[in-house]
A and B are shown apart, each in its own frame.
Chain A
Amino acid sequence: MSVRFLTVVTTFLIGYFFLAPGIQLFGQDEEFKASKFVLEHIKDSHDWHILTTKQGKHVSVPLPIIVFSKHSGLNIFLSGKIAHGHNYKGFEMGHSTIMKTNKKGEEVEMSLEGKVVEVDGHGDLVAEGLPLDFSITKNVFMMFLSIVTLLVVFLGLARSYKKAGIKEPRGLQGFLEPLIVFVEDDIAKPNIGEGKHLKFMPYLLTVFFFILINNLMGLIPFFPFGANVTGNIAVTMVLALCTLVITTFSGNKEYWKHIFNMPGVPIWLAPIMIPVELLGVFTKPFALMIRLFANITAGHIIVISLVSMIFIFKSVFMAAPAMVMVVFMDMIELLVAFLQAYIFTLLSALFIGLAVPEHHHD
């Protein structure tokens, strides 16, 4: 009930949030590029753009930029210093494309859009190349927020469990407990096996709630939420790598036997089977990474595309049907937020379960 209410409110806030720069765009007779608009949202960024005023002023929250370059070492400053083409200590936001030689020796075009670059006195890029960027970006910021929220919520929950003893769950406990029990009883136990699942419960619960809260926060369209964290390939890659590491390190003899000496497979098939099985070890987490990234990114793209329709049609009458569709999509995204957290956790449990099978082959 309250979640639905929140979604409705959220949707109308999206409307307001994007309408403001939109109206301004009409005034300037500037061409509205939906694809650029959408991509800018779903990608990470160094500052948190909130709105553009009618006078063309950008209102954004500056975020710390932490860059490490071979040319000038470690530099920490706020993103406001290099916004709108400013240069700070040789750093500025990239805006062009450069030709770069890739590993195959081919010349490829690389966009510097949205990247922090270091330039020398003549305005050319320094010879040492792009600095290593460890900035607190929009995604890092929201991820930090989600981590703090999770820590507060679950440490508090642990304390309230200690205090309440065996009393019935109430409040937040009543909402979270079914999820925790669901992860244990319907994800971990059937896939890993009862008893053995206990060792992996902390990881599965953490990954479930981490994905869930970031999915949900990503649906809230105003500062400090709305960043596309779980739709970022780097984040999903880290999560998938965790599953890979856990699977590999907890794999028992049976698991490795299945990879290097599949029971019941003739020995002459080994040169084919072993590479296939080894590849399988990596494709499983790779699929996890792509699935979460693609699903969440796709959801964000659809919602923002629907909002963009108002500006593509340049008609305020488009706002009503667009809002209806956005509300509808947000409802679906709410489902997807839970679903993707569930699927990632379920498949992680499944892969872990495959790595610790019972001995039932002779």
Chain B
Amino acid sequence: MDLVTPGIGLLFWSTLFFLILLFVLGKFAWPSILIAIKTRNESIRRALDAADRAKEKMAMLKADNEKILAEAKAERDALLREAKQVKDMLIADAKEQATEEAKKLVQSARESIQTEKAAAINDMKTQMAILSVDIAEKILRAKLEDSKVQKELIDKLINETDLN
């Protein structure tokens, strides 16, 4: 068997063996192995991508949380400020109202005192008139005991009274 002359037997057997190997492995081994490797590579890539996305999401969530917190704080401050304003306003209103009411009360008291006073004065005047008349009657009665005095008085009164 020469070194550089291919022998027919070995040519035959190597062709046969190699084609069998190529066929069997090509049909039953390589496709599933290659697909398995590819699937695994893809799943690893997907997992890494998902991890990256999750990280981004976390960062975003954190930023969101901070924003929400800041907003909440601002809102609280605003609410507090408003409440204070309302309180102040209410107090001021109440004060004003109270003052006005007091004023009104004083006024009406003053008016009623005035009225009472006037009525009392009138009453007093009437009483005094009645008393005066009574006193005058008593005096007159005493004076008119005699007829001369009566006549004088009638005359004086007639004279005093203007008959025109």
A contact residues vs B (CB 8 Å cutoff): 39, 42-45, 66, 111, 114-115, 132-137, 139-140, 143-144, 147, 150-151, 154-155, 157-158, 161-162, 164-166, 177, 180-181, 184, 198, 201-203, 205-206, 210, 232-235, 237-239, 242, 297
Q: Report yes or no: A206 in contact with B21, Cβ–Cβ below 8 A.
A: yes
Starting from the known contacts A43-B3, A151-B24, A239-B14, 10 additional A-B residue pairs (CB-CB under 8 Å) come to A42-B3, A135-B9, A151-B21, A157-B33, A158-B30, A161-B36, A166-B36, A180-B34, A205-B25, A233-B4
**Which B residues touch A166, using CB under 8 A?**
36, 39-40, 43-44
Q: Quick check: is B160 within 8 A (CB to CB) of the other chain?
A: no
Q: How far is the CA of A116 from the CA of B1 in the complex (A)?
A: 10
Q: Report yes or no: A233 in contact with B13, Cβ–Cβ below 8 A.
A: no
Give the nearest-CB partner of B27 in chain A.
Answer: A202
Q: Considering the complex of A and B, which 6 residue pairs feature the smallest CB-CB distances, nearest first?
A: A202-B26, A234-B6, A161-B36, A234-B10, A154-B29, A158-B29
Q: Report yes or no: B14 in contact with A238, Cβ–Cβ below 8 A.
A: yes
Q: How far is the CA of A205 from the CA of B1 in the complex (A)?
A: 31
**Which A residues touch B5, using CB under 8 A?**
233
**Which B residues touch A44, using CB under 8 A?**
1, 7, 10
**Which B residues touch A201, using CB under 8 A?**
30, 34
- Which of the residues B3, B11, B21, B44 comes within 8 Å of A237, measured between beta carbons? B11
**Which A residues touch B32, using CB under 8 A?**
158, 161-162
> Which of A42, A45, A238 has the most B CB atoms < 10 Å from its CB?
A238
Question: What does the 1/0 interface line of B93-119 toward A look like (CB < 8 Å)?
Answer: 000000000000000000000000000
Give the nearest-CB partner of B17 in chain A.
Answer: A147
Question: What does the 1/0 interface line of B42-57 toward A look like (CB < 8 Å)?
Answer: 0110000000000000
**Which B residues touch A135, using CB under 8 A?**
9
List 30 A–B pairs whose Cβ atoms lie within 8 Å, in order of A's numbering: A43-B1, A44-B1, A115-B1, A135-B9, A136-B13, A143-B14, A143-B17, A157-B29, A157-B33, A158-B32, A166-B36, A166-B43, A166-B44, A177-B37, A201-B34, A202-B25, A202-B31, A206-B18, A206-B21, A206-B22, A210-B18, A232-B10, A233-B5, A233-B6, A234-B6, A234-B10, A234-B14, A237-B11, A238-B14, A242-B22
Give the nearest-CB partner of B30 in chain A.
Answer: A202
Residues from 58 to 112 in B contacting A, C-beta threshold 8 Å: none
**Which B residues touch A115, using CB under 8 A?**
1
Q: How far is the CA of A201 from the CA of B32 in the complex (A)?
A: 12
Count of residues in B whose CB is under 8 Å from the partner chain: 36
Q: Quick check: is B15 within 8 A (CB to CB) of the other chain?
A: yes
Q: Report yes or no: A114 in contact with B37, Cβ–Cβ below 8 A.
A: no
Q: How far is the CA of A219 from the CA of B33 in the complex (A)?
A: 28
Q: Report yes or no: B37 in contact with A242, Cβ–Cβ below 8 A.
A: no
Q: How far is the CA of A237 from the CA of B30 in the complex (A)?
A: 24
> Which of B3, B20, B43 has the most A CB atoms < 10 Å from its CB?
B3
Q: How far is the CA of A239 from the CA of B29 in the complex (A)?
A: 20
Q: Report yes or no: A206 in contact with B25, Cβ–Cβ below 8 A.
A: yes
Q: Report yes or no: A239 in contact with B17, Cβ–Cβ below 8 A.
A: no
**Which A residues touch B18, using CB under 8 A?**
206, 210, 238-239, 242
**Which A residues touch B20, using CB under 8 A?**
147
Q: Report yes or no: B3 in contact with A233, Cβ–Cβ below 8 A.
A: yes
Q: How far is the CA of A151 from the CA of B24 in the complex (A)?
A: 8
**Which A residues touch B9, using CB under 8 A?**
66, 132-135, 137, 140
Q: How far is the CA of A60 from the CA of B7 in the complex (A)?
A: 22
**Which B residues touch A66, using CB under 8 A?**
9
**Which A residues touch B24, using CB under 8 A?**
151, 155
- Which of the residues B25, B26, B28 comes within 8 Å of A150, measured between beta carbons? B25
**Which B residues touch A297, using CB under 8 A?**
3
Q: Report yes or no: A234 in contact with B30, Cβ–Cβ below 8 A.
A: no
**Which A residues touch B33, using CB under 8 A?**
154, 157-158, 161, 180
Q: Quick check: is B145 within 8 A (CB to CB) of the other chain?
A: no
**Which B residues touch A203, using CB under 8 A?**
22, 26
Q: How far is the CA of A184 from the CA of B36 in the complex (A)?
A: 13
**Which B residues touch A143, using CB under 8 A?**
13-14, 17
Q: Quick check: is B2 within 8 A (CB to CB) of the other chain?
A: yes
Q: How far is the CA of A58 from the CA of B29 in the complex (A)?
A: 42
- Which of the residues A137, A154, A164, A177 comes within 8 Å of B10, measured between beta carbons? A137
Q: How far is the CA of A210 from the CA of B2 in the complex (A)?
A: 23
Q: A23 → chain B, closest Cβ, in Å?
A: 28
